[in-house]
Amino acid sequence: MKHFSSNYNLSNPSVIYEGASQFELGTLDGKVINYNFDKILLYLQIKGKLMFGKNFKIYNEDHELILKLSSYFIQDRQFALKFGIDIDKGLLLSGPVGCGKTTMMMLLPHLVPHKRKYSIVPARNIVFGFNAIGYKMIEDYCDAKDYCFDDLGVENIGTHFGKDCNVLGEILISRYDLFKDKGIKTHCTTNLNAEEIQERYGERVRSRMRELFNLVGFEANSVDKRL
């Protein structure tokens, strides 16, 4: 059984209500919450069914990954460091098609409903927007909000008035500057490996991604959970 600790100012944010049901994810000791991983798994299983339907399930082989991600989301710095995770950086969650990357990035923020949320935006939708309105689309994502760019790498090269642009590459460079200057986080999901990311976006972007993100991934042989 794994336990986490985290500091909060609210009365007891480890207690979450879903309708008439109450889920206690840990115990409050002063201002420190001692989270219980078994209780986290139970809550995520139930919340997942509410969000994604009755066929949702958490697979045993994903428990270690969920443990890593949970330590990040509850901001347990010491526990996260055991996994090589820096809670001040964003997440780059990788894995094969259908393994549950987007699902996890939608589900896990519900562990900390009192925390600032990020918006999940499909990468290809951003490129569609760029093709229509041009560089304003890039500017729109260079703000102080937190984002998760979903399915990084499946998008096409953007084209506006005959000029090509690697739209997500440009956005990531701008988001890197925001991270360095103001600590604003960016998250991504992707099917690409490190070599494919460099081929798609170039060494300049990949080198910044090393500083922007914690690299966390599903196993390469993870099953397609959408089947």
pLDDT at 56 over 60: yes
Amino acid at residue number 104: M
Tens of pLDDT along 182-194? 999 999 999 999 8
Within a domain: residue 223?
no
Within a domain: residue 38?
yes
pLDDT at 82 over 80: yes
Range of the domain at 209: 3-217
Query: Which pTM was predicted?
Result: 0.92
Within a domain: residue 106?
yes
Give me 168's structure tokens: 């997500």
Q: What is the CATH number of the domain that holds 128?
A: 3.40.50.300
Of the pLDDT bands very low, low, confident and very high (cuts 50, 70, 90), residue 10 is low
Of the pLDDT bands very low, low, confident and very high (cuts 50, 70, 90), residue 44 is very high
Q: How far is CA 34 from the centre of its chain?
A: 23
CB 150 within 8 A of CB 105: yes
Within a domain: residue 144?
yes
Q: What is the pLDDT of residue 116?
A: 86
Within a domain: residue 226?
no
Dist. CA 213–CA 167, nearest whole Å: 19
Dist. CA 89–CA 186, nearest whole Å: 8
Within a domain: residue 227?
no
Dist. CA 219–CA 183, nearest whole Å: 29
Tens of pLDDT along 116-165? 899 999 999 999 999 999 999 999 999 999 999 999 999 999 999 999 99
Count Cβ atoms below 10 Å from residue 109 Cβ, excluding itself.
16
Residue 177: which of 205, 152, 153 has the closest Cα?
A: 205
- Compute the radius of gyration of the chain from its Cα atoms: 18
Number of structural domains (the chain) is: 1
Sole residue written with tokens 């259908």: 98
